Amino acid sequence: MRLDIVTIFPEYLEPLNVSLVGKARARGQLDVRIHDLRDCAHDKHNTVDDTPYGGGPGMVMKPEPWGEALDGILASGEGEPVIVVPTPSGAPFTQQLAVELSAKPWLVFTPARYEGIDRRVIEEYGDRVDVREVSIGDYVLAGGEAPVLVMVEAVARLLPGVLGNAASHQDDSFAPGAMADLLEGPVYTKPPEWRGRGIPEVLLSGHHGKIARWRRDEAFRRTDRNRPDLIERADPAAFDKHDRAILAALGWSVGADGRFGRTTEAVEE
């Protein structure tokens, strides 16, 4: 996969040289190209921002440097990339979107600073290629570089051969399929006792069916506790009778609208 990132802080993206993403680059699975937007700003001070039309606080990123940078990138490759525009006003970045983006051969990221990029840039490239405005959460950061680090890592770990065990992301929280609306439950490793704390007996049983059921029940318990909104939005048809039993024990039932709602107190101890 090819990734182009245009930024005024190339050094902010140094973490892309370490760990999983760094190794994927070294192995040639990821071709990451970082571009300094100021190289496309040709006045004496390499200016990339200006005051907003209509007044108000803050500065807005000028369209000309972005246009030159993106034209150059688009002309340098085969086919069309997906342009990912980080912005708090974008659609939420989810595991589902990470999976979708991981299937694309080429992504271009446009992390901004100040109050963001002149709107005409998004319109201009939206007329030519697939442009996604994406938010990593309901809070506002000073710039889009940290969101790009987040998104690149989430996408890169899904690429074939990047994770040591290809199956390991299939059981993750939010993984499309059986975990789509669930959080992963707790995990344990050796030693079997630490500071007087043991591990759940079932994990030592060697009984794969029971272990899988226990893990799924724990996923429901954790989702119930930390993200009940995920259960509310889930499709009840996606759950089997064991899933429904644990949900009922946690106080959930399917209402007249065909969705789960918390209707009773949990009956679990």
Ligand X SMILES: C[S@@+](CC[C@H](N)C(=O)[O-])C[C@H]1O[C@@H](n2cnc3c(N)ncnc32)[C@H](O)[C@@H]1O
Active site residues: 88, 115, 157, 172
Q: Is 112 an interacting residue with respect to ligand X (CB under 6 A)?
A: yes
How far CA 125 is from CA of 53, 84, 116, in Å, comes to: 21, 11, 16
Give the separation between CA 82 and CA 108, rounded to whole angstroms: 6
Q: Which of residues 199-258 bind ligand X (CB under 6 A)?
A: none
Query: Binders of ligand X: how many residues, by CB under 6 A?
Result: 19
Which of these segments, 131-139, 156-164, 216-224, 253-261, binds ligand X (CB under 6 A)?
131-139
Out of 6, 144, 181, 231, point to the residue binding ligand X (CB under 6 A). 144
Residue 15's nearest CA partner among 114, 112, 148 is: 148
Nearer to ligand X, 99 or 141 (CB): 141
Count of H-run helices and E-run strands, the chain:
8, 9
Q: Which of residues 68-97 bind ligand X (CB under 6 A)?
A: 86-89
- Does the annotation flag 114 for ligand binding? no
- Helix/strand/coil (H, E, C) string of 128-181? CCEEEEEECCCCCCCCCHHHHHHHHHHHHCCCCCCCCCHHHHHHCCCCCCCCCC
Nearer to ligand X, 48 or 250 (CB): 48
| Residue 143 CB, nearest approach to ligand X (Å) | 5
| Residue 57 CB, nearest approach to ligand X (Å) | 10
Q: Is 137 an interacting residue with respect to ligand X (CB under 6 A)?
A: yes
Nearer to ligand X, 122 or 231 (CB): 122
Nearer to ligand X, 6 or 24 (CB): 6
- Does the annotation flag 18 for ligand binding? no
| Residue 126: DSSP 8-state | H
- Does the annotation flag 82 for ligand binding? no
Task: Decide if 4 contacts 35 (C-beta within 8 A).
Answer: yes
Tell me which residue has its CB nearest to ligand X: 144
Residue 212's nearest CA partner among 227, 198, 202 is: 202
- Does the annotation flag 137 for ligand binding? yes
| Residue 52 CB, nearest approach to ligand X (Å) | 10
Task: Decide if 61 contacts 117 (C-beta within 8 A).
Answer: yes
- Does the annotation flag 247 for ligand binding? no
Q: Is 141 an interacting residue with respect to ligand X (CB under 6 A)?
A: yes
Task: Decide if 35 contacts 69 (C-beta within 8 A).
Answer: yes
Give the separation between CA 88 and CA 264, rounded to whole angstroms: 37
Chain residues in the site for ligand X (CB under 6 A): 86-89, 111-113, 115-116, 135-137, 139-144, 147
Known binding-site residues for S-adenosyl-L-methionine equal: 136-141
